[in-house]
Each structure stands twice: as structure tokens, then as C-alpha cells.
Chains A and B, each alone.
Chain A
């Protein structure tokens, strides 16, 4: 028999359905015992790599792998919210520049006890810069999955068209030679000698090569005003403002050295091997060479990314699974998948052979890391690096536009940077006190 539904019953049913839906939403989540991990992913190709990682994890651990993939731009914010709300995975990917930031705030746990208790885990199979990047206050907070020095990409076709000898594959050219070449190959508005991002991430390589740094060894004060750093800053800014060997900056937000290089009319580009996978789409012949050598040689920025375990992961079965998952995600087998896809140089020496040409000279990445060719400098950051980067991002780009001189910009920045260095020291003290 068909019954008519009264308005009251309808409202009651609707309310109940809403409550049920809300309860279902609240209770949804990965099944207990699943290997949950988070990672950034901004393209279909990148997603495929992480799906392959996930399959590999399931094969190795015989548990369900549940990766949470987030576009790289929104990853830090999402990770923060997950860490705060206790919904983060057992393992989370983390950019090397943020490891001290998270470690100092107690967001991730140190791994030294787990490493010491596991005879199967060999820390020596990881490149030294990756281990340094993954540490804070003499403790290991993460295990690297990629690490690489900044290199110089060059457009072989363009150099050959102009009858210029190709640069040495192993010997870094001097800054003076680099500048001469960049000037010689510049024919505005059709062709330019060099491109890099007008930001501290790219500037530090020049600063390190000149023997300078953003801050002193103990990170107690800014050293951007020191002669070495000033020389480097002036050199790069002059390439933009005085020599005009770079494509004009159209917009500080969307400016992309990679996009400029891929146009095919720029001779040199400063970037990391993580762009090899994109540069392979170029319609011209190209390769990479060591970064130009400054006063202390070719010691550009070495940076990388790692996996870490949130401090909210409980001791016992969860922590056991988290450590096994972390080991699997950074194992030679997993990093082989990563390197074969051309994403970047793996952090493990034993996975290095999977990161293969093109370009022909890709091998220098590992030679640089091993200290056989040129050199590198681990990216020195602080526990408040976001703030340092923000501050430098406000005023340094104006020097690239010729709106202020390097001296004026640094004079204005130094006192504010010093405040941030003091704040960094406070963070270290608080982190040490918390541990005690």
C-alpha cells in the first residue's frame, strides 16, 4: 500500500539523512593498518610516478598504500592543517628548505633512534648533502629522496649557430667568461644570453660561489652586506640591469626561467636537474655544464627533498609501520622508479644509475655531489626560512628591475634580516628546551 509522506515526515527523513551523511563523512578515512603518506604532485606524469611508488609499497609491505597527492603550491598549507589536526599520513614528504622549520616546531620526530635500532638501514648510501639537508640541531629528521646541485643549462644549437665553441663538460667557466659569452649571444629583443629567476633561491648559488652566504655560520646575523655576497649580487643584477643579457621581466609572479629557455632563444639557464624532465621537450639541442666558478670555485646551491614522520605518530604498531614505509619510499627500488622517470637525481648513491641521459652530460650531477667535478654547497636555511624568503622576495626583485641599487636594497634588508636571525636563535633555544 502506498503511503503519503507528510511534510513533517519528509523533513524528519531529510534531517536524518543529513546527519547520516555527516557521520559517514566524519568517519571516512584510510583503513586501519594502511600505509598512509603525503606528497606534492602537479602533473599527470608526476602523479604516475607516485602511483608507481604506491604499487611498489604495496608489493614490499603487503599492506594497502594510501598516498595523498596535493598540487605543490598548496602542499605546505595542507600539510600544516593535517599535522595540526592529527590527520597527516604516517609519512610526509617535505622540501629540504622547510625541514628546520617543521623540526624546530616539533611537527616531526627525530629518526636517530629508529636508524640506530635498524641494522638494515644504511645511512651512508645517501649523499652527504642530502643527510645535511635532512638534519636539524644535529639530529636526523628526514630521509632524502632526491638531491641535486644547481647546474647551467645551455642551448647547444644556439652556440653552434654563432660558431662558439661548446663549453667544457667538466671544467666550470669563470664568471668573466660566462658574462662575455652571455653578452656576445644577446641580440635583443630576439635573443638573450642568460635567464634565471629574480629570487634568492637562484641568487644563493652565485653568493656561495663568491664565498658569501645569506647569514653567518651560526645564523646569528645577516651577511648579505659582506663584500663576497655583495660582489655576487652585483654581478647577477648587472646581467639584468646593466648588460641586459636577460629577457625583460614582464611580471614578478609568473616569471619563469624555464619558459624563457624553452623559447629556444636564450643561451644559458640556471636551474636544477629536476627540470631535465621538462627540458627534454625542447625542440633544440641542449645540455648541462657545471655552474660558473666564482672566487671560491663552482659551489652552487645543493637542494633536495625528503620524507619524514610526523611527531603525532604513536609509538608501537603505527611507528613500526611508519618506519617501514619511510624506508620503502626511500629504498633503492623506489628511487629507481623516481630516477628512471627523470624526475630528479635520487638521494641514494645506489639508485644513481637509474638517472640517465639525455642530456649527454647528465652524469655531472652525481660527479658534483661526489666531489669529483666542481662542487656544491648545501642550501643553508633557518627555522623561519619562509619569513627570510618573504623578506628577500619583497626588496631583492626590485634590484633586478633597476628600481633600487643593490647597496640600498641590502642596507634596508639587513636590520630586518638580523631580527629574523635572532628569532631563529630563539626557535632553536625553544626547540632544545622542549626536547629537554
Chain B
């Protein structure tokens, strides 16, 4: 019997090439995702989720207790004729445009001072960082005492140099600047530390080269320090503007938004609308408008960053 046999190949057929493991499935990526997961979950649950939820809620009429009803864009339409909303937005902008430059100026001056090789610089740095590390509520109560019209420290000091200080926190004119002064004192520490790190990263050769070229101290500052510090400056400006647009606790504690609505900030108004007036839809609409303002301003800053910020690489 002849048996047909299949020819035996001389070599085994080539094994099919395994599909390359997707990058996200390899062990290293999985480990990275595992470590990122807590932050990612936190971001999704506590930041992205609420933003999406605010978008949905802004289209509803909801008092928290009764089932929500569809409101369409009516909550956004209510913003136009609401004088308190515009007043709060104006106050927030006023606070931001006054407090951010002042905070940056104070932070930068102190960082420059601490970068001069002073003795015990670590002690000074820690002391100057203390206001930033202290909770705002405690600081606000101390500043209420400082601002007391007749017996407060601020007016006592002004009185000693012949100035009759105003009733800071109940004055139409001075209530907001008083809040700004407190906020600058509270927050300059953050900028100072960032600037100090930036200053210490500037190569000394640049200053030496400038000196060889005959630069004055001011010219060195303008042509070496400022450009080299511009990334840090940009970072502090962006974070300070965002933080200032969200000002809430100091205004709530020190003035409760008064006198009148002179220090009512947008976040304070959103809180009251949502949790004291139970108008969640309108509060969400206001929140989205605030979000849009912050995004717009931050985007504008990033546009200018390309021209004004110098990156070493």
C-alpha cells in the first residue's frame, strides 16, 4: 500500500508574529496608570464631574428638595438683568486687578531680598511663609481687629503719622482695598518661594557676563533677572489670577459682602444663590460664567506668554 505522505518541510513554518502589546498594556504603563489612578479619580470625581454636573444643573430649575424641572437657557438669561451678579463680577475683577500685581510685587521684592545671601535666610524665609501657611479664617479675624476704626492697630499707626484712618471694613471706598491688603499679606509667601527658586536657578555666569559688559544693577535685573525669571513669573500670575477670581472666605468673614454689595464677590454670590436661596440652576449658570471668564483670561495669558516668557531651552 502506498501511502501518500505529505512532504515534510525542511524547516518549521514561521510562527505568526505576535501582535505588539499596546503601550497602555505593558507593565511599565500599567504601573504608571496605577500611580496616577488616585489623582485621576480625584480629578474626575471632584473636578471634572462637578463641572459637567454644573453644566447640566444650569439647564434645570432645582431647589434641592423638589424634583428638578427643565429650564433650558433661562438661568443664563437671568444673568443679564441681575444687578447683584454684575456688581459681584465687578468687585471680583477689582479685587483681582488690585491684589495680583501687589502680591507679585511684594513677593518679588522679598524674594530678591532673601536672595542676597543674608545670614539666617532660612529663618526669614520660614517666617515670611507663615501667613501663607495659616488658615484664612484665623487671619481674617486677626485683620478684623487690626481694622477696628478707633482702637485698631492700622489706624493707630496712621494716627501716629497724622493720618485719620477710615472705618476700613464699613467704608464704601476702603472696604475692598482693606480686603486686598489682607489678601496680599496672606498670599505673598507662595509667590516669594516660587520666585526664590527661580532666582536661585539663574546661572551666575549671566550676571558675570553682564557685569563684564558694564551693566548696572538695574540693567542686570531688567536684562538678566526678569527674562530668566519670566517662567516663574508667568506661573505665579496665572495661579494668582485664578485664585483671586475665586476669592470667598476673607470677604465672607470680614465684611459679609458689605457695606451694601461693595465686597460681594462672585463666588460668595454663587454660594448664596445655591445654598441660601436654594436656586441651584441659577448658581450653576453663574459658576459656568465664572469658569468661562477664568478660562478666557488664562488663555489670553498663554497667548501673551509666547511673546513675553523666556524659556532657556
Interface residue ranges, A against B (CB under 8 Å): 11, 76-77, 80, 83-84, 101-102, 105-107, 189, 248-254, 311, 384, 386-387, 390, 393-395, 397-398, 401, 403, 430, 434
Contacts and interface: CB of A to CB of B under 8 A. Distances in A.
B150 A394 contact: no
Contacts of B272: 386, 390
Nearest to B273: A387
B121 interface: no
A83 B264 CA distance: 28
23 contacts: A76-B276, A105-B63, A250-B170, A251-B170, A251-B254, A252-B169, A252-B170, A252-B255, A253-B169, A254-B144, A311-B65, A384-B277, A386-B272, A386-B278, A390-B276, A393-B258, A394-B258, A394-B260, A394-B264, A397-B258, A397-B259, A398-B258, A401-B170
A248 B149 CA distance: 9
A393 B276 CA distance: 14
Describe B's contact surface by its main secondary structure: loop
B63 A250 contact: no
B278 A398 contact: no
Describe A's contact surface by its main secondary structure: helix
Interface residues of B, number: 29
A80 B260 contact: no
A230 to B, nearest CB: 20
Contact of A253 (B172, B256, B278): B256
A204 to B, nearest CB: 19
- Top 4 closest pairs, chain A to chain B, by CB: A105-B65, A107-B65, A386-B276, A253-B256
A387 B275 CA distance: 11
B259 A251 contact: no
Interface of B: 34, 63-66, 144, 147-150, 167, 169-170, 172, 253-261, 264, 272, 275-278
Nearest to B83: A416
A230 B122 CA distance: 62
B64 A105 contact: yes
Contact of B277 (A251, A311, A386, A401): A386
Contacts of B278: 80, 101, 105, 386
A80 B258 contact: no
A387 B278 CA distance: 10
Nearest to A15: B34
Given A105-B65, A106-B66, A249-B170, A398 B260 contact: yes
Nearest to A253: B256
A102 B276 CA distance: 11
Contacts of A189: 150
A105 B62 CA distance: 10
B258 A250 contact: no
B75 to A, nearest CB: 14
Given A189-B150, A249-B170, 19 more contacts: A84-B64, A84-B65, A102-B65, A105-B64, A106-B66, A248-B149, A249-B167, A250-B148, A253-B144, A253-B254, A253-B258, A254-B144, A386-B278, A387-B277, A390-B277, A397-B258, A398-B258, A401-B167, A403-B259
B65 A251 contact: no
Contacts of A83: 64-65
Contacts of A107: 64-65
A381 to B, nearest CB: 14
A395 B278 CA distance: 22
Contact of A251 (B66, B144, B260, B264): B144
A178 B277 CA distance: 37
